[in-house]
Chains A and B, each alone.
Chain A
Amino acid sequence: MDLRPRRQGDVIVLGPAGRVDHLNSDEFLTAVEPHLAQCEAGGPALLFDLSAVEYMSSSGLRVLMLAAKQAKPRGGRVAVAAPQALVAEVLEISRFNLVFPIHASVDEGLRALSATP
Protein backbone atom coordinates (compact mmCIF):
# COMPACT_ATOMS: atom_id res chain seq x y z
CA MET A 1 0.00 0.00 0.00
CA ASP A 2 1.39 3.36 -0.99
CA LEU A 3 1.03 5.78 1.91
CA ARG A 4 2.61 8.66 0.00
CA PRO A 5 4.90 9.46 2.95
CA ARG A 6 6.20 12.97 3.20
CA ARG A 7 8.35 14.62 5.81
CA GLN A 8 7.30 18.00 7.06
CA GLY A 9 9.69 19.22 9.70
CA ASP A 10 9.54 16.82 12.64
CA VAL A 11 6.46 15.04 11.32
CA ILE A 12 6.05 12.17 8.87
CA VAL A 13 2.66 12.41 7.16
CA LEU A 14 1.16 9.14 5.94
CA GLY A 15 -1.81 9.17 3.60
CA PRO A 16 -3.70 5.92 3.06
CA ALA A 17 -6.48 6.08 0.49
CA GLY A 18 -9.71 4.34 -0.42
CA ARG A 19 -11.11 1.58 1.79
CA VAL A 20 -8.95 0.19 4.57
CA ASP A 21 -10.53 -3.03 5.81
CA HIS A 22 -9.81 -6.68 6.52
CA LEU A 23 -8.84 -7.22 2.89
CA ASN A 24 -5.86 -4.83 2.95
CA SER A 25 -5.13 -4.04 6.60
CA ASP A 26 -2.04 -6.30 6.54
CA GLU A 27 -0.68 -4.22 3.66
CA PHE A 28 -1.50 -1.08 5.62
CA LEU A 29 0.45 -2.37 8.63
CA THR A 30 3.42 -3.39 6.50
CA ALA A 31 3.51 0.06 4.95
CA VAL A 32 3.30 1.80 8.35
CA GLU A 33 5.93 -0.28 10.15
CA PRO A 34 9.11 1.32 8.72
CA HIS A 35 7.88 4.77 9.74
CA LEU A 36 6.73 3.53 13.11
CA ALA A 37 10.25 2.31 13.85
CA GLN A 38 11.45 5.92 13.77
CA CYS A 39 8.63 7.22 15.93
CA GLU A 40 10.25 7.62 19.33
CA ALA A 41 11.43 10.35 21.70
CA GLY A 42 13.49 12.82 19.69
CA GLY A 43 12.34 11.26 16.42
CA PRO A 44 9.62 12.32 14.01
CA ALA A 45 5.96 12.16 14.96
CA LEU A 46 3.50 10.25 12.80
CA LEU A 47 0.45 11.99 11.39
CA PHE A 48 -2.11 9.88 9.55
CA ASP A 49 -3.79 12.03 6.90
CA LEU A 50 -7.13 10.28 6.44
CA SER A 51 -8.58 12.77 3.96
CA ALA A 52 -8.49 10.20 1.13
CA VAL A 53 -9.85 7.30 3.19
CA GLU A 54 -13.46 6.49 2.28
CA TYR A 55 -13.93 3.86 4.96
CA MET A 56 -11.85 2.26 7.68
CA SER A 57 -13.01 -0.98 9.30
CA SER A 58 -11.94 -2.33 12.68
CA SER A 59 -8.98 -4.03 10.95
CA GLY A 60 -7.70 -0.66 9.77
CA LEU A 61 -8.38 0.96 13.13
CA ARG A 62 -6.39 -1.83 14.72
CA VAL A 63 -3.31 -0.69 12.76
CA LEU A 64 -3.75 2.87 14.05
CA MET A 65 -4.06 1.51 17.59
CA LEU A 66 -0.95 -0.62 17.12
CA ALA A 67 0.97 2.46 16.01
CA ALA A 68 -0.19 4.41 19.06
CA LYS A 69 0.59 1.55 21.44
CA GLN A 70 4.08 0.99 20.05
CA ALA A 71 5.04 4.65 19.84
CA LYS A 72 3.77 5.86 23.20
CA PRO A 73 6.07 3.86 25.52
CA ARG A 74 9.05 5.01 23.45
CA GLY A 75 8.05 8.65 23.74
CA GLY A 76 6.77 8.77 20.16
CA ARG A 77 3.75 10.78 19.07
CA VAL A 78 0.92 9.66 16.79
CA ALA A 79 -2.09 11.64 15.62
CA VAL A 80 -4.81 11.53 13.01
CA ALA A 81 -5.98 14.34 10.76
CA ALA A 82 -8.66 15.28 8.25
CA PRO A 83 -10.97 12.26 8.42
CA GLN A 84 -13.95 12.41 6.09
CA ALA A 85 -17.30 12.72 7.86
CA LEU A 86 -18.10 9.01 7.87
CA VAL A 87 -14.62 7.99 8.99
CA ALA A 88 -14.80 10.64 11.73
CA GLU A 89 -18.04 9.04 12.91
CA VAL A 90 -16.44 5.60 12.94
CA LEU A 91 -13.52 6.94 14.97
CA GLU A 92 -15.92 8.44 17.50
CA ILE A 93 -18.18 5.39 17.76
CA SER A 94 -15.06 3.27 18.28
CA ARG A 95 -13.88 5.77 20.94
CA PHE A 96 -10.62 6.30 19.06
CA ASN A 97 -11.06 10.00 19.79
CA LEU A 98 -10.02 9.08 23.33
CA VAL A 99 -6.87 7.27 22.14
CA PHE A 100 -5.12 9.95 20.16
CA PRO A 101 -5.74 13.49 18.92
CA ILE A 102 -7.96 13.75 15.84
CA HIS A 103 -7.30 17.02 14.06
CA ALA A 104 -9.70 18.62 11.63
CA SER A 105 -6.98 19.28 9.04
CA VAL A 106 -3.43 18.20 8.25
CA ASP A 107 -2.20 21.73 8.88
CA GLU A 108 -3.80 21.71 12.31
CA GLY A 109 -2.20 18.34 13.03
CA LEU A 110 1.20 19.57 11.88
CA ARG A 111 0.94 22.63 14.06
CA ALA A 112 -0.07 20.58 17.10
CA LEU A 113 2.68 17.99 16.64
CA SER A 114 5.31 20.63 15.93
CA ALA A 115 4.35 22.50 19.07
CA THR A 116 4.51 19.37 21.22
CA PRO A 117 7.96 18.62 22.66
Chain B
Amino acid sequence: MSEMLVRFWGTRGSLPIALTAPQVQAKVAQALLAASGRRFANLEQASAYAAGLPFHVAGTFGGHSSCVEIELAPPGAGPHDYVICDLGSGARPFGGKVLAHHGAATPNTFHVFMSHVHWDHIMGFPLFTPAYIPGNVIRIYGCHRNLEEAFRAQHGAPCFPVDFSQLAARIEFVTLNPGEKVEIAGLSVLPKLQIHAGESYGYRFERNGKVFVYSTDSEHKLDDPDVTEGFVEFFCDADLVAFDAMYSFADAISVKEDWGHSSNVVGVELCQLANAKRLALFHHEPIHDDARIATIEAETRRFEEITRVGGTPLEVFSAYDGLEVEL
Protein backbone atom coordinates (compact mmCIF):
# COMPACT_ATOMS: atom_id res chain seq x y z
CA MET B 1 0.00 0.00 0.00
CA SER B 2 1.30 3.46 -0.86
CA GLU B 3 2.02 6.14 1.74
CA MET B 4 0.40 8.84 -0.34
CA LEU B 5 -1.73 8.99 -3.41
CA VAL B 6 -1.48 12.30 -5.22
CA ARG B 7 -4.58 13.06 -7.26
CA PHE B 8 -4.63 15.99 -9.67
CA TRP B 9 -8.03 17.72 -9.90
CA GLY B 10 -6.86 20.86 -11.68
CA THR B 11 -3.60 21.29 -13.61
CA ARG B 12 -4.17 24.35 -15.78
CA GLY B 13 -2.45 27.65 -15.14
CA SER B 14 -3.96 31.12 -14.82
CA LEU B 15 -7.43 30.40 -16.18
CA PRO B 16 -9.63 27.32 -16.58
CA ILE B 17 -10.27 26.26 -20.15
CA ALA B 18 -12.54 23.81 -21.92
CA LEU B 19 -12.15 21.88 -25.15
CA THR B 20 -13.85 23.64 -28.05
CA ALA B 21 -16.05 21.97 -30.65
CA PRO B 22 -13.36 22.18 -33.37
CA GLN B 23 -10.82 20.62 -31.00
CA VAL B 24 -13.16 17.71 -30.23
CA GLN B 25 -13.90 17.30 -33.91
CA ALA B 26 -10.17 17.19 -34.68
CA LYS B 27 -9.69 14.44 -32.10
CA VAL B 28 -12.54 12.39 -33.59
CA ALA B 29 -11.10 12.88 -37.08
CA GLN B 30 -7.64 11.73 -35.94
CA ALA B 31 -9.15 8.67 -34.25
CA LEU B 32 -11.12 7.77 -37.38
CA LEU B 33 -8.05 8.21 -39.54
CA ALA B 34 -6.00 6.00 -37.23
CA ALA B 35 -8.74 3.34 -37.33
CA SER B 36 -7.98 3.02 -41.01
CA GLY B 37 -11.18 1.28 -42.00
CA ARG B 38 -11.34 -1.28 -39.21
CA ARG B 39 -14.80 -2.26 -37.98
CA PHE B 40 -16.04 -2.49 -34.42
CA ALA B 41 -18.83 -4.87 -33.47
CA ASN B 42 -19.82 -2.97 -30.34
CA LEU B 43 -18.99 -0.09 -28.05
CA GLU B 44 -16.63 -2.27 -26.00
CA GLN B 45 -14.45 -2.98 -29.00
CA ALA B 46 -14.46 0.68 -29.97
CA SER B 47 -13.56 1.67 -26.41
CA ALA B 48 -10.67 -0.80 -26.38
CA TYR B 49 -9.40 0.71 -29.61
CA ALA B 50 -9.76 4.24 -28.22
CA ALA B 51 -7.80 3.28 -25.12
CA GLY B 52 -4.82 2.47 -27.31
CA LEU B 53 -4.73 5.87 -29.01
CA PRO B 54 -2.29 8.57 -27.90
CA PHE B 55 -3.53 10.38 -24.80
CA HIS B 56 -3.78 13.74 -26.56
CA VAL B 57 -6.11 12.16 -29.15
CA ALA B 58 -8.33 9.96 -26.99
CA GLY B 59 -8.13 12.06 -23.82
CA THR B 60 -7.37 15.55 -22.63
CA PHE B 61 -5.04 17.11 -20.10
CA GLY B 62 -8.04 19.01 -18.82
CA GLY B 63 -8.81 22.59 -18.08
CA HIS B 64 -9.39 23.07 -14.36
CA SER B 65 -7.10 25.42 -12.48
CA SER B 66 -4.87 24.27 -9.64
CA CYS B 67 -6.19 21.76 -7.11
CA VAL B 68 -4.28 18.67 -5.98
CA GLU B 69 -5.37 16.12 -3.40
CA ILE B 70 -3.02 14.11 -1.20
CA GLU B 71 -4.80 10.96 -0.08
CA LEU B 72 -3.21 9.23 2.90
CA ALA B 73 -5.87 6.55 3.14
CA PRO B 74 -9.03 5.93 1.16
CA PRO B 75 -12.09 7.46 2.80
CA GLY B 76 -14.32 5.02 4.63
CA ALA B 77 -17.87 5.30 5.85
CA GLY B 78 -17.04 7.66 8.72
CA PRO B 79 -15.60 11.17 8.89
CA HIS B 80 -12.41 11.64 6.87
CA ASP B 81 -9.47 14.04 6.85
CA TYR B 82 -8.85 15.33 3.33
CA VAL B 83 -5.65 17.14 2.33
CA ILE B 84 -5.53 19.37 -0.73
CA CYS B 85 -3.31 22.01 -2.27
CA ASP B 86 -5.02 25.11 -3.63
CA LEU B 87 -8.66 25.74 -4.38
CA GLY B 88 -8.68 26.46 -8.09
CA SER B 89 -11.63 25.39 -10.21
CA GLY B 90 -10.54 21.75 -9.74
CA ALA B 91 -11.92 22.04 -6.21
CA ARG B 92 -15.46 21.85 -7.61
CA PRO B 93 -15.22 18.27 -8.97
CA PHE B 94 -13.20 17.31 -5.88
CA GLY B 95 -16.02 18.58 -3.64
CA GLY B 96 -18.50 16.68 -5.80
CA LYS B 97 -16.57 13.44 -5.32
CA VAL B 98 -16.54 13.93 -1.54
CA LEU B 99 -20.26 14.52 -1.47
CA ALA B 100 -20.93 11.52 -3.69
CA HIS B 101 -18.93 9.32 -1.33
CA HIS B 102 -20.17 10.52 2.06
CA GLY B 103 -23.46 12.25 1.39
CA ALA B 104 -24.16 15.40 3.32
CA ALA B 105 -24.46 13.89 6.78
CA THR B 106 -20.82 12.96 7.45
CA PRO B 107 -18.73 15.71 8.99
CA ASN B 108 -15.35 15.80 7.25
CA THR B 109 -12.23 17.87 7.78
CA PHE B 110 -10.42 19.51 4.89
CA HIS B 111 -6.81 20.62 5.27
CA VAL B 112 -6.09 23.08 2.48
CA PHE B 113 -2.56 24.33 1.74
CA MET B 114 -2.55 27.52 -0.30
CA SER B 115 0.35 28.40 -2.59
CA HIS B 116 -1.04 31.93 -2.83
CA VAL B 117 -4.32 33.69 -3.30
CA HIS B 118 -4.29 34.71 -6.94
CA TRP B 119 -7.69 34.19 -8.48
CA ASP B 120 -7.00 30.94 -10.32
CA HIS B 121 -6.01 29.34 -7.01
CA ILE B 122 -9.05 30.37 -4.99
CA MET B 123 -11.80 30.55 -7.62
CA GLY B 124 -13.09 27.04 -6.89
CA PHE B 125 -14.00 27.79 -3.30
CA PRO B 126 -17.36 29.54 -3.91
CA LEU B 127 -18.50 26.36 -5.68
CA PHE B 128 -16.87 23.95 -3.22
CA THR B 129 -19.97 22.16 -1.95
CA PRO B 130 -18.53 20.95 1.39
CA ALA B 131 -18.29 24.60 2.47
CA TYR B 132 -22.08 24.78 2.51
CA ILE B 133 -22.59 21.72 4.71
CA PRO B 134 -22.78 22.13 8.49
CA GLY B 135 -20.44 19.91 10.45
CA ASN B 136 -17.61 20.12 7.95
CA VAL B 137 -14.39 21.83 9.02
CA ILE B 138 -12.29 23.56 6.39
CA ARG B 139 -8.90 24.58 7.69
CA ILE B 140 -7.03 26.77 5.22
CA TYR B 141 -3.28 27.00 5.76
CA GLY B 142 -0.94 29.49 4.14
CA CYS B 143 1.89 31.93 4.72
CA HIS B 144 0.12 35.01 3.40
CA ARG B 145 -1.16 37.40 6.04
CA ASN B 146 -4.11 38.32 3.78
CA LEU B 147 -5.32 34.75 3.29
CA GLU B 148 -8.73 35.24 4.91
CA GLU B 149 -9.21 38.65 3.35
CA ALA B 150 -8.76 37.21 -0.15
CA PHE B 151 -11.28 34.41 0.41
CA ARG B 152 -13.86 36.77 1.90
CA ALA B 153 -13.40 39.33 -0.89
CA GLN B 154 -14.41 36.94 -3.68
CA HIS B 155 -17.22 35.37 -1.68
CA GLY B 156 -19.97 37.94 -1.73
CA ALA B 157 -21.36 40.93 -3.61
CA PRO B 158 -20.57 42.05 -6.22
CA CYS B 159 -18.54 38.96 -7.20
CA PHE B 160 -20.73 36.13 -5.91
CA PRO B 161 -24.35 35.82 -4.72
CA VAL B 162 -23.57 34.01 -1.46
CA ASP B 163 -21.72 35.87 1.26
CA PHE B 164 -18.83 34.18 3.06
CA SER B 165 -20.72 34.59 6.35
CA GLN B 166 -23.49 32.33 5.04
CA LEU B 167 -21.21 29.31 4.66
CA ALA B 168 -22.37 26.55 6.98
CA ALA B 169 -19.07 24.76 7.43
CA ARG B 170 -16.63 25.91 10.10
CA ILE B 171 -13.86 27.67 8.22
CA GLU B 172 -10.56 28.42 9.89
CA PHE B 173 -7.47 30.17 8.61
CA VAL B 174 -4.07 29.11 9.91
CA THR B 175 -0.96 31.13 9.19
CA LEU B 176 2.23 29.14 8.64
CA ASN B 177 5.77 30.44 8.59
CA PRO B 178 8.05 29.68 5.65
CA GLY B 179 10.93 27.44 6.61
CA GLU B 180 9.14 26.10 9.70
CA LYS B 181 8.14 22.47 9.52
CA VAL B 182 4.74 21.56 11.00
CA GLU B 183 2.88 18.29 11.53
CA ILE B 184 -0.62 18.38 10.08
CA ALA B 185 -3.04 15.53 9.37
CA GLY B 186 -0.31 12.90 9.53
CA LEU B 187 2.03 14.79 7.25
CA SER B 188 5.21 16.70 7.90
CA VAL B 189 4.78 19.96 6.00
CA LEU B 190 7.49 22.47 5.12
CA PRO B 191 6.45 25.72 3.38
CA LYS B 192 8.97 27.63 1.28
CA LEU B 193 8.89 31.14 -0.12
CA GLN B 194 8.96 31.29 -3.94
CA ILE B 195 9.39 34.09 -6.45
CA HIS B 196 6.00 35.24 -7.72
CA ALA B 197 4.12 38.54 -7.76
CA GLY B 198 2.69 38.92 -4.27
CA GLU B 199 4.81 35.93 -3.22
CA SER B 200 3.89 32.27 -3.38
CA TYR B 201 4.81 29.28 -1.26
CA GLY B 202 5.74 25.74 -2.15
CA TYR B 203 5.09 22.83 0.20
CA ARG B 204 7.19 19.77 0.90
CA PHE B 205 5.01 16.98 2.28
CA GLU B 206 6.67 13.98 3.93
CA ARG B 207 5.26 10.79 5.35
CA ASN B 208 7.19 7.66 6.32
CA GLY B 209 10.04 8.46 3.97
CA LYS B 210 7.89 9.44 0.99
CA VAL B 211 8.07 13.02 -0.28
CA PHE B 212 5.73 15.07 -2.44
CA VAL B 213 6.72 18.64 -3.35
CA TYR B 214 4.03 21.02 -4.58
CA SER B 215 5.78 23.95 -6.23
CA THR B 216 3.60 26.02 -8.48
CA ASP B 217 3.60 29.67 -9.49
CA SER B 218 7.30 29.92 -8.89
CA GLU B 219 9.86 31.64 -11.07
CA HIS B 220 13.28 30.05 -10.80
CA LYS B 221 15.81 32.51 -12.09
CA LEU B 222 18.86 30.33 -11.32
CA ASP B 223 21.01 33.47 -11.22
CA ASP B 224 21.78 33.16 -7.51
CA PRO B 225 23.55 29.92 -6.52
CA ASP B 226 22.35 30.18 -2.91
CA VAL B 227 18.70 30.49 -3.96
CA THR B 228 19.09 27.59 -6.39
CA GLU B 229 20.72 25.49 -3.68
CA GLY B 230 17.78 26.28 -1.41
CA PHE B 231 15.35 24.82 -3.93
CA VAL B 232 17.58 21.82 -4.59
CA GLU B 233 17.39 21.12 -0.86
CA PHE B 234 13.63 21.68 -0.89
CA PHE B 235 13.21 19.16 -3.75
CA CYS B 236 15.85 16.79 -2.35
CA ASP B 237 15.07 13.09 -2.99
CA ALA B 238 11.40 13.88 -3.67
CA ASP B 239 9.32 11.01 -4.98
CA LEU B 240 7.21 13.49 -6.92
CA VAL B 241 7.56 17.19 -7.73
CA ALA B 242 4.58 19.07 -9.17
CA PHE B 243 6.37 21.90 -10.96
CA ASP B 244 5.21 25.10 -12.63
CA ALA B 245 6.31 24.53 -16.23
CA MET B 246 4.02 27.06 -17.84
CA TYR B 247 6.47 28.66 -20.28
CA SER B 248 9.26 27.66 -22.59
CA PHE B 249 12.66 28.46 -21.09
CA ALA B 250 13.28 31.16 -23.73
CA ASP B 251 9.97 32.88 -22.91
CA ALA B 252 10.51 32.58 -19.15
CA ILE B 253 13.76 34.57 -19.31
CA SER B 254 12.79 37.06 -22.00
CA VAL B 255 9.32 38.36 -22.85
CA LYS B 256 7.76 36.67 -19.81
CA GLU B 257 10.56 37.35 -17.35
CA ASP B 258 9.20 38.40 -13.94
CA TRP B 259 5.77 36.97 -14.78
CA GLY B 260 6.34 34.51 -11.97
CA HIS B 261 6.47 31.16 -13.75
CA SER B 262 9.05 28.63 -14.82
CA SER B 263 9.81 26.19 -17.60
CA ASN B 264 10.12 22.47 -18.27
CA VAL B 265 13.88 22.88 -18.78
CA VAL B 266 14.47 24.39 -15.34
CA GLY B 267 12.14 21.80 -13.80
CA VAL B 268 14.29 18.97 -15.14
CA GLU B 269 17.53 20.64 -14.08
CA LEU B 270 16.36 21.30 -10.53
CA CYS B 271 14.94 17.79 -10.14
CA GLN B 272 18.16 16.27 -11.46
CA LEU B 273 20.25 18.34 -9.05
CA ALA B 274 17.91 17.32 -6.23
CA ASN B 275 17.85 13.63 -7.19
CA ALA B 276 14.06 13.70 -7.41
CA LYS B 277 12.36 10.65 -8.89
CA ARG B 278 9.35 12.02 -10.74
CA LEU B 279 8.56 15.40 -12.28
CA ALA B 280 4.96 16.35 -13.04
CA LEU B 281 4.79 19.28 -15.43
CA PHE B 282 2.03 21.42 -13.95
CA HIS B 283 0.19 24.76 -14.34
CA HIS B 284 -0.15 24.32 -18.10
CA GLU B 285 -0.36 27.42 -20.26
CA PRO B 286 -4.07 27.96 -21.10
CA ILE B 287 -3.37 28.60 -24.79
CA HIS B 288 -1.72 25.19 -25.19
CA ASP B 289 -3.97 22.49 -26.62
CA ASP B 290 -3.56 18.79 -25.85
CA ALA B 291 -1.26 18.14 -28.79
CA ARG B 292 1.04 20.96 -27.70
CA ILE B 293 1.20 19.72 -24.11
CA ALA B 294 1.97 16.21 -25.40
CA THR B 295 4.78 17.64 -27.53
CA ILE B 296 6.21 19.51 -24.56
CA GLU B 297 6.01 16.30 -22.51
CA ALA B 298 7.93 14.37 -25.18
CA GLU B 299 10.53 17.14 -25.54
CA THR B 300 11.00 17.30 -21.78
CA ARG B 301 11.57 13.55 -21.61
CA ARG B 302 14.17 13.92 -24.35
CA PHE B 303 15.79 16.82 -22.49
CA GLU B 304 16.00 14.68 -19.38
CA GLU B 305 17.60 11.90 -21.42
CA ILE B 306 20.15 14.28 -22.94
CA THR B 307 21.09 15.86 -19.63
CA ARG B 308 21.05 12.76 -17.42
CA VAL B 309 24.34 12.15 -15.68
CA GLY B 310 24.38 8.61 -14.30
CA GLY B 311 21.96 7.65 -11.58
CA THR B 312 18.32 6.75 -11.91
CA PRO B 313 16.39 8.45 -14.71
CA LEU B 314 13.97 11.19 -13.73
CA GLU B 315 10.47 10.15 -14.78
CA VAL B 316 8.76 13.06 -16.53
CA PHE B 317 5.09 13.45 -17.39
CA SER B 318 2.53 16.17 -17.93
CA ALA B 319 -0.03 16.20 -15.15
CA TYR B 320 -3.67 16.03 -16.22
CA ASP B 321 -6.99 16.45 -14.47
CA GLY B 322 -7.75 13.04 -12.98
CA LEU B 323 -4.17 11.75 -12.86
CA GLU B 324 -3.32 9.67 -9.81
CA VAL B 325 0.26 9.02 -8.71
CA GLU B 326 1.02 6.58 -5.92
CA LEU B 327 4.02 7.28 -3.72
Contacts and interface: CB of A to CB of B under 8 A. Distances in A.
Given A62-B223, A89-B302, A89-B306, A94 B254 contact: no
Contacts of B302: 89, 93
B268 to A, nearest CB: 9
Contacts of B266: 58
Contact of A62 (B225, B253, B303): B253
Interface of B is mostly: helix
B249 A61 contact: yes
Nearest to A87: B306
A93 B252 CA distance: 13
A22 B228 CA distance: 10
B306 A65 contact: no
Interface stretch (A4-12, A30-38, A42-50, A95-103): A95-103
Contacts of A94: 248-250, 263, 265
B250 A62 contact: no
A91 B254 CA distance: 15
Chain A interface secondary structure, helix, strand, loop or mixed?
helix
B300 interface: yes
Contact of B225 (A22, A68, A86, A98): A22
B303 A93 contact: yes
A22 to B, nearest CB: 7
Interface residues of A, number: 19
Contacts of B225: 22
A59 B222 contact: yes
Nearest to A57: B269
A96 B250 contact: yes
B251 interface: yes
B219 to A, nearest CB: 13
B254 A69 contact: yes
A90 interface: yes
A55 B228 CA distance: 20
B299 interface: yes
Interface in A24-82: 55, 57-59, 61-62, 65, 68-69
Given A58-B249, A95-B251, A98-B250, A90 B222 contact: no
A60 to B, nearest CB: 11
B303 A65 contact: no
Nearest to A55: B307
A61 B253 CA distance: 10
Contact of A93 (B222, B223, B300): B300
Given A58-B222, A59-B222, A69-B254, A95 B248 contact: yes
B36 to A, nearest CB: 31
A58 B265 contact: yes
Given A69-B254, A99-B250, 9 more contacts: A22-B222, A22-B225, A22-B228, A58-B222, A62-B253, A86-B306, A90-B307, A93-B300, A93-B302
23 contacts: A22-B222, A22-B225, A22-B228, A55-B306, A57-B269, A58-B269, A59-B222, A61-B250, A62-B253, A65-B254, A68-B254, A69-B254, A89-B303, A89-B306, A90-B303, A90-B307, A93-B299, A93-B303, A94-B250, A94-B263, A95-B249, A96-B249, A99-B254
Q: Which 5 A-B pairs have the closest CB atoms?
A: A95-B248, A95-B250, A94-B249, A93-B299, A93-B303
